[in-house]
């Protein structure tokens, strides 16, 4: 068998422990109220549920392409429930993947609220470990 070239190989499945475990990832989700033009960033971990006024945002997971893979993409699986005027229960208006680099791929269609993914903070093999 021949040795590989001198370039550093991409990490393999054996390096999977160096990837951030799901429960330690932090997604930044943008939430916009189009009626009053207020937007805010929600920092969420997978499994988190945040209630902001009549809106409930659930984050199932977030994912980011490894630095050595192209194209670079950042995504999150989000569910959005809204309590509409005159209703007693929240209604699910969106459930699916949102992608930072391709916002038009999957769109939250609601007259008042918009949600988008801004980031998914996670580590990969070979990343510098941050000292805190």
Q: What is the pLDDT of residues 79-99, one digit of tens each?
A: 999 999 999 999 999 999 999
What does residue 16 show for φ and ψ, rounded to 5 degrees? -60, -25
Give the C-alpha separation, 112 to 116, whole Å.
14
Q: What is the pLDDT of residues 12-49, one digit of tens each?
A: 444 555 678 888 999 999 999 999 999 999 999 999 99
**Confidence band, pLDDT 50/70/90 cuts, at residue 123:** confident
Residues in the chain: 132
**What is the side-by-side order of every strand in the sheet holding 55-64?**
49-52, 55-64, 74-82, 91-99
pLDDT for 4: 43
The overall longest dimension of the chain from CA atoms, in Å, is 71
Over residues 44-68, the mean pLDDT reads 95
**Confidence band, pLDDT 50/70/90 cuts, at residue 61:** very high
Round the average pLDDT of the chain to a whole number and report it: 86
Q: Which residue has the higher pLDDT, 8 or 115?
A: 115
Model pTM score: 0.80
pLDDT for 22: 87
pLDDT for 1: 40
């Amino acid at each position: 068998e021949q040795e590989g070239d001198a370039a550093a190989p991409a990490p393999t499945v054996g390096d999977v422990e160096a990837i951030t475990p799901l429960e330690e990832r932090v997604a930044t989700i943008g939430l916009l109220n189009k009626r009053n033009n207020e937007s805010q960033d929600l920092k969420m971990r997978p499994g988190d549920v945040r209630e902001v006024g009549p809106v409930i945002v659930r984050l199932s997971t977030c994912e980011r392409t490894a630095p050595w893979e192209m194209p670079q993409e950042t995504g999150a699986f989000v569910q959005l429930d809204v309590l509409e005027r005159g209703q007693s229960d929240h209604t699910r208006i969106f459930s699916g993947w949102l992608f930072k680099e391709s916002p038009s791929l999957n769109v939250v269609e609601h007259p008042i609220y918009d949600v988008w993914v801004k980031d998914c903070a996670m580590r990969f093999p070979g990343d510098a470990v941050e000292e805190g």
